[in-house]
Amino acid sequence: MDALDAIRARRNVRSYTTAPIPEADIDRILEAGWRSPSARNNQHWDFVIVTDHAVLQELSTVWMGAGHIAAAQAAIALVIPEPADERTKLLDQYDLGQATMAMAIAATELGIGTGHSAVGDQDKARAILGVPGDHLVAYLLGLGYPADRPLSPIKKPSRRPFDDVVHRGSW
C-alpha cells in the first residue's frame, strides 16, 4: 500500500487478534518513529517496546483510555525528558505527535492496527517500564492485527468536509 493509502486506511484500532507481530515488523514501525522529524533535530524521545502480556496488562491501568493496551500484542511507550521550559514542552509534544503518526502509518502499511493513549499515572508508568524519574511517559501506542476488519482505505471517512477545512490564500 502506498503512503496516501496507508493514511487513508489508518484508524484507531482497540480490539486485536492474538496473532503475534513479527519482530522485523515491530522494528520497521520503530524505525518510522526514529526517522520522524524533530524540531532542531533534538530527538528528545525514547521508545520502549513492550511485548510481555503481563506488562501490557499493567500498562493498561495507567490511564482510563488505555484499556486496549491489555489486548494488544505490543505497545510502544513514547518517553521524553521532563521539559526544561514551556517552549521545549511544546516542541517535544509536536515531535511526539509526528513520531506517533509515522509509526501508525508504518504499522498500517503492514496491516497492523494502532490505538493511542495518554498516560495519567506517571509514577506507575515509570515503575512498570523502569523509566527514570526525570522523564515522562507521554503516550502509549498499542499494536496488533485488527480483530474486526482488515485495514483498507476508508471510502467515506467521518471527517469535516474537505472544503470546510481547507482555506486557500486566506480564511
pTM greater than the 0.85 cutoff: yes
3-state SS, residue 92: helix
Confidence of residue 42 (pLDDT cuts 50, 70, 90): very high
The residue behind cell 484507531 is 12
* Structure confidence by residue, pLDDT tens digits, 72-108: 999 999 999 999 999 999 999 999 999 999 999 999 9
DSSP bridge partners of 47: 78
| pLDDT range class, residue 1, cuts 50, 70, 90 | confident
- Give domain limits for the chain: 3-147
- Rounded Cα–Cα distance for residues 88 and 45 (Å): 12
The answer to whether 156 and 162 have CB atoms below 8 angstroms apart is: no
- Amino acid type, 32: A
User: Domain 3-147 - what CATH class?
Assistant: alpha beta
Residue with cell 481547507: 166
